[in-house]
Amino acid sequence: MIQDSILVVDDEARMRKLIKDFLMNKGYSILEAEDGEKAIEIYEQNQTKIKLILLDVMMPKLDGWSVLRQIRQTDKKIPIIMLTARGEEQDELFGFELGVDEYITKPIRPKILVARVEAILRRTQGEENAVRDYGGIEINKEGRTVAIEGKNIELSLREYELLTYLVENENIALSRDKILNNVWNYDYYGDSRTIDSHVKKLRHKLGKKGKYIKTIRGIGYKFEVKAEK
């Protein structure tokens, strides 16, 4: 049984229940808050238990941006996923600048939300010093090395960061913009198609394992390992 607690903050009771039901089915313990002030109160009382926050933007008393700012003043690491009905690019940029880990627009697809929650928790909890195997691609995050069948392969810093971002979001389709924002960050103003050239080089260096990086037409890329038949 998974023991991580997730704080779900949304002023709509039906939305909280929907998210809660799907996450509890995965074994997560859920804490709830119906407004921003309550979210801060619960967070402060349960800091050691809460491993991730799902945070709505438009709420009474204290909106999601204000909650985010307060939490980030004392905790830079806890993963925060913003939930909002507003999907404008400027809002997404604003959220990432404030320290959001993911930004999901409503209407929410619960299974996708759960997949993103699990991907973030895998990425942030206790894996930094471990050697992880992704279909024969071994990544040592402590040593920042990548090996295939025991043989190290040489990757540039950007190729390494691209690979780790893809594998940490395994089975999730990632848009070029999302990859650009998370791997290149907002200090890069070039064409997002630069990702295509880096993916091409990365696939080549991964050899047969390069096939795990799937092209999702019209969207971007997905890392997916399928059992050999």
What's the CA dihedral at 16, 17, 23, 27 to 10 degrees? 130
Cα distances from 96 to residues 50, 108, 186, 228, in angstroms, run 21, 19, 9, 38
Contact criterion met (CB below 8 Å) for 63 and 84: no
- pLDDT on residue 75: 86
In a domain, 192, yes or no: yes
Per the structure, how many domains does the chain have?
A: 2
Residues 103 and 163 in one domain: no
Q: State the CATH number of the domain containing residue 53.
A: 3.40.50.2300
pLDDT at residue 207, as a whole number: 95
How does DSSP assign 27-64, residue by residue?
T-EEEEESSHHHHHHHHHHSTTTEEEEEEESS-SSS-H
User: What is residue 37's predicted lDDT score, i.e. its pLDDT?
Assistant: 95
Boundary (domain end) residue, out of 88, 104, 124: 124
Phi, psi of 89 (to 5 degrees): -60, -40
Q: Are residues 117 and 181 in the same domain?
A: no
- Residue 93 to residues 47, 48, 158: CA-CA distances in angstroms? 27, 29, 21
- Based on the fold, state whether residues 35 and 88 are members of the same structural domain: yes
The position carrying tokens 């690979």 is: 163
- Write down which residue in 124, 146, 179 finishes a domain: 124
- pTM of the full structure: 0.58
**Judgement on whether residues 176 and 71 belong to the same structural domain of the protein:** no
83 lies in the same domain as 168: no
Predicted confidence at residue 85, as pLDDT, reads 75
DSSP 106: S
Residue 61 lies in a domain: yes
Q: What's residue 181's pLDDT?
A: 82
**pLDDT the model gives residue 229:** 43
Domain annotation covers residue 229: no
- Which domain covers residue 105, as residue numbers? 5-124
How many alpha carbons fall within 13 Å on the CB side of residue 192? Answer: 15
Query: Do 139 and 112 share a structural domain?
Result: no
Radius of gyration of the chain (CA): 18
Residue 173 is predicted with a pLDDT of: 92
CATH no. for residue 184? 1.10.10.10
Residues 84 and 11 in one domain: yes
Q: What is the pLDDT of residue 227?
A: 53
Render each residue's pLDDT in the chain as its tens digit; 229 residues.
345 689 999 999 999 999 999 999 888 899 999 999 999 999 998 888 899 999 998 898 899 889 999 998 888 888 999 888 766 666 667 667 777 888 888 888 888 899 889 888 877 765 544 678 888 999 987 778 899 988 999 998 889 999 999 998 988 999 988 888 888 765 555 566 788 999 999 999 999 999 999 999 989 999 999 754 4
Co-location of 58 and 104 in the same domain: yes
Q: Which of 80, 102, 124 is the last residue of a domain?
A: 124
Q: Quick one: which of 13, 49, 5 has its CA closest to 33?
A: 13
